[in-house]
């Protein structure tokens, strides 16, 4: 399809994915630990010039009424503890997490035809860790975070500019920006799924799970024991 395809032609859009010889197979995973697989896939994304923000991720939350919402965030740290992002603690996502800490993250790297799904529980990181990262950000970004009451109604764009100007005037050229109501969340995963597209639409899906009772499910046929208390299984596309 050409780039000028119309909305009426959406159903005909097709993208070529991987061929069968490039299938994502269990035997290709040397260490059956999703954090190791994530690190390997992330390195591939970091070394793919077409991927401009390899740490961009869609974060889904649910409010007190059970209504979901979704938005993009930037994953700023990925360790064996989990995945960290930062936000205003007065934002909609923060309010949702305060009421229901279960979240989901999705990452899609189109040039690699790969996606990662993560489900887990979000918790605030320490204030010291948030403060450290906050002051590592460009000063303009620090001031922007202090000026913006994220997710709240504002009169206009110019009202934000006015608040920003007031903060700049108060701090001067070199005054340290105080930490606003802002900080990080660590998502501790209980599920991480790796998806790789196949042109014949028989996509590869390998899911890792960890938590109470999952090791008891291991049968060596459909559910397999991995490293560090994880189990893994292949899902139909």
Residues designated catalytic = 201
With a CB cutoff of 8 Å and minimum separation 6, the contacts of 45 are 51, 54, 109, 112, 114
């Amino acid at each position: 399809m050409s780039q000028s395809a119309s909305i009426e032609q959406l159903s005909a859009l097709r993208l070529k994915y991987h061929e069968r010889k490039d299938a994502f197979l269990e035997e290709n995973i040397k260490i059956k630990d999703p954090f190791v697989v994530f690190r390997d896939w992330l390195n591939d994304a970091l070394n793919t010039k077409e991927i401009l923000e390899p740490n961009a991720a869609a974060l889904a939350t649910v409010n007190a009424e059970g209504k979901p919402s979704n938005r993009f965030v930037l994953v700023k740290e990925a360790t064996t503890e989990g995945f960290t992002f930062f936000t205003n603690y007065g934002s909609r996502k923060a309010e949702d997490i305060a009421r229901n800490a279960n979240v989901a993250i999705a990452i899609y790297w189109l040039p690699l035809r790969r996606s990662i799904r993560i489900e887990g529980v979000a918790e605030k990181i320490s204030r010291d860790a948030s403060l450290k990262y906050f002051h590592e950000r460009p000063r303009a970004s620090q001031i922007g975070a202090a000026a913006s009451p994220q997710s709240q109604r504002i009169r206009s764009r110019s009202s934000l500019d006015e608040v920003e100007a007031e903060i700049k005037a108060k701090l001067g050229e070199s005054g340290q920006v105080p930490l606003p109501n802002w900080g990080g969340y660590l998502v501790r995963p209980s599920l991480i799924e790796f998806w790789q597209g196949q042109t014949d639409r028989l996509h590869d899906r390998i899911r890792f799970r960890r938590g109470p009772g999952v090791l008891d499910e291991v049968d060596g046929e459909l559910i397999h024991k991995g490293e560090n208390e994880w189990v893994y299984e292949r899902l139909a596309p």
